[in-house]
Amino acid sequence: MSQQVQGEDLAVVIGLEVHVQLETDTKIFCDCPTEPAEEPNTHTCPVCLGLPGALPVLNEAAVEAAVKVGKALHADVPEETDFHRKNYFYPDLPKGFQITQYDAPICQDGELEVSVGDQRRTVGISRAHLEEDPGSLQHVGGSIDDADYTLVDYNRAGTPLMEIVTEPDFRGPEEVRAFLAKLEEVLEYLGAFDADRDGSLRIDANISMVPESEVGDDGEIDEAALEDANRTEVKNISSHSGAEQALAYEVTRQRNSIKRGRDVQQETRHWDEGRGVTVSMRAKEAEEDYRYFREADLPPLRVSHWKEKLEIPELPDARRERFREEYGLSEEAASKLTSTKQVADFYENVAEAFDPDLAATWVADNLLGELNYRDMAITDVDDRLAEFHRLVELVADEEITAKNAREVVLRTMLDEGDDPDTVVEREGLGKTGEDEVAQAVTEAIDENPDAVDDYHAGEDGAINFLVGQVMQKTGGSADPGDVNELLRAELAQ
């Protein structure tokens, strides 16, 4: 394989293989639950333990999720797809092979649009296929190469995975990060994926350097140049930031290697998150090593018509655009309010009952802010929509001040689980009647002649003192802005 000319300007080329766990109740080929178990090796059965004679039965929910992903990625779902056995030995793989898809994956030729800074980029998805997750290993007393012993847990074995393979369309680590964020957002909108689940995202990143002269004006790189470039495949990446760091490390390592006149080795490397380095694992395995052959225990799958049949929700970009047009939101507010489908649903519900701007302030700024502070998510409160409506209504009808609504009522609702009326009642937050405020204003002026003199002498700070007096007399339930105006009007006479 030829290498880049020393000293020539180099372009970075990256392609990803992203493994995502699909959210289903049961595993892909048996009816063991996918939810995390308390004890190792308890969510298992003869099928996912690979016992002789056990037969796989395909989970319809996993196939549905895969077709929805295909639809969201504008991919083709071929007339017929099938499953293959990928043979290799590793203790986390009880059958000695993984059931996966090979030359007829369920999704082909898709794309995903991503914003990087203020640029839009379209990333090609060459394929996305279904497969089963292996079990998990726990190295005791050290890391993989110096542990005392290793435990194996098959609870995870058979969890449905989708492997999404991109074209080598990325030109830098920051683009990869933006893509992963977008991909997760879309998958979560589909209800097919839960980013909070441990290990739900695993990334293999392929990276090479090609001479800048091979990059066309349109950013495309010649197929032959891509083939020619020696690339490394970095494994064991499990987060967006991990991907960006691992790739930044590889960019520097490969550049330095080429600068010193050394070839980049075609190999598999391991991302060591703790040390922040990639380490050589082995020469890259070739496809022949896996002796792929048809999984005869599973019939071919014909689900292309499901693409029409299965509905998918409005996706984040479209929803963001609609929020801007329909509710007149700023780009920032629209982004925040579409960050998850649950947030967007919550906002729309409030926006339909109140002024969309008021709803945006209350959901995007107040509610999300307070939730975030408490490490809570919208899903912790979306069964309390009616209470939240009542809170916004109290503000819209000027029954309580916005400040009290936010700082007392909302916070108590979240901390104590009370409903808004209970908090208003208990804390005596109902806005004081006009007469009572007027009375308090008169009293404050009568009782504080010095402050009144100061005010007339042009000391504007004196007004704050008088506002404070009125607030005290009304137990904090008057609106400070209103009090300020009333005082000034009274003092002007």
Chain residues that interact with Zn ion, rule: CB under 5 A: 30, 32, 45, 47-48
Instruction: Find the residue with minimal CB distance to ligand ADP.
Output: 15
30 binds, among Zn ion, ligand ADP, none (CB under 5 to 8 A by kind): Zn ion
167 binds ligand ADP (CB under 6 A): yes
Give the shortest CB-33-to-Zn ion separation in angstroms. Answer: 9
183 binds ligand ADP (CB under 6 A): no
Among 37, 45, 215, 226, binds ligand ADP (CB under 6 A): 226
Scanning 204-212, 245-253, 260-268, 321-329 for contacts with ligand ADP by CB under 6 A, the matching segment is 204-212
- Between CA 127 and CA 153 the distance in angstroms is 30
229 binds ligand ADP (CB under 6 A): yes
Nearest C-alpha neighbor of 226 from the set 243, 244, 207: 207
Give the shortest CB-30-to-Zn ion separation in angstroms. Answer: 3
Give the shortest CB-294-to-ligand ADP separation in angstroms. Answer: 19
- Between CA 339 and CA 341 the distance in angstroms is 7
361 Ramachandran zone, left/alpha/beta (phi>0; psi -120 to 50): alpha
The secondary structure element, H or E, covering residue 483 is helix 480-492
CA atoms within 13 A on the CB side of 9: 4
Give the shortest CB-136-to-Zn ion separation in angstroms. Answer: 15
Number of residues that bind ligand ADP (CB under 6 A): 15
Decide whether 32 or 207 has the Cβ nearer to Zn ion.
32
Question: Coil, strand, or helix at residue 88?
Answer: coil
Among 160, 168, 173, 316, binds ligand ADP (CB under 6 A): 168
377 binds, among ligand ADP, Zn ion, none (CB under 5 to 8 A by kind): none
Scanning 43-51, 84-92, 166-174, 319-327 for contacts with ligand ADP by CB under 6 A, the matching segment is 166-174
- Between CA 359 and CA 389 the distance in angstroms is 9
DSSP-assigned states of every residue in 181-195? HHHHHHHHHTT---T
Among 112, 161, 207, 364, binds ligand ADP (CB under 6 A): 207
Scanning 63-71, 225-233, 245-253, 311-319 for contacts with ligand ADP by CB under 6 A, the matching segment is 225-233
Cβ 230 vs Cβ 263: under 8 Å: yes
Q: Residues 6 or more apart from 290 whose CB is under 8 A from it?
A: 86, 87, 88
Cβ 222 vs Cβ 18: under 8 Å: no
Sequence-ordered strand ranges (E) for 56-188 = 84-87, 97-100, 107-116, 119-132, 136-140, 149-153, 160-166
Question: Coil, strand, or helix at residue 490?
Answer: helix
Which residue reads 């080795």 in tokens?
265
Q: Write out the two tokens for 334.
A: 């629209």
Give the shortest CB-38-to-ligand ADP separation in angstroms. Answer: 37
State which of positions 231-290 bind ligand ADP (CB under 6 A). 231
Give the shortest CB-278-to-ligand ADP separation in angstroms. Answer: 14
Give the shortest CB-83-to-Zn ion separation in angstroms. Answer: 17
Decide whether 220 or 393 has the Cβ nearer to ligand ADP.
220
Cβ 472 vs Cβ 480: under 8 Å: no
State which of positions 5-24 bind ligand ADP (CB under 6 A). 13-17
Decide whether 33 or 369 has the Cβ nearer to Zn ion.
33
- Between CA 165 and CA 169 the distance in angstroms is 11
166 binds ligand ADP (CB under 6 A): yes
Alpha helices by DSSP H, 73-139: none
Decide whether 112 or 165 has the Cβ nearer to ligand ADP.
165
Scanning 141-149, 206-214, 395-403, 430-438 for contacts with ligand ADP by CB under 6 A, the matching segment is 206-214
Scanning 82-90, 161-169, 254-262, 484-492 for contacts with ligand ADP by CB under 6 A, the matching segment is 161-169
Decide whether 233 or 421 has the Cβ nearer to ligand ADP.
233
DSSP-assigned states of every residue in 15-53? EEEEEEE---SB-SSS--B-S--SSTT-S--TTTTT-TT
Decide whether 13 or 400 has the Cβ nearer to ligand ADP.
13
Give the shortest CB-205-to-ligand ADP separation in angstroms. Answer: 8
- Between CA 256 and CA 172 the distance in angstroms is 16
Q: Give the number of other Cβ atoms within 10 Å of residue 377's Cβ.
A: 15
Angle of helix 434-447 relative to helix 461-473, nearest 10 degrees?
Answer: 130
Decide whether 184 or 250 has the Cβ nearer to ligand ADP.
250
16 binds, among Zn ion, ligand ADP, none (CB under 5 to 8 A by kind): ligand ADP
Give residues in contact with ligand ADP (CB under 6 A): 13-17, 165-168, 206-208, 226, 229, 231
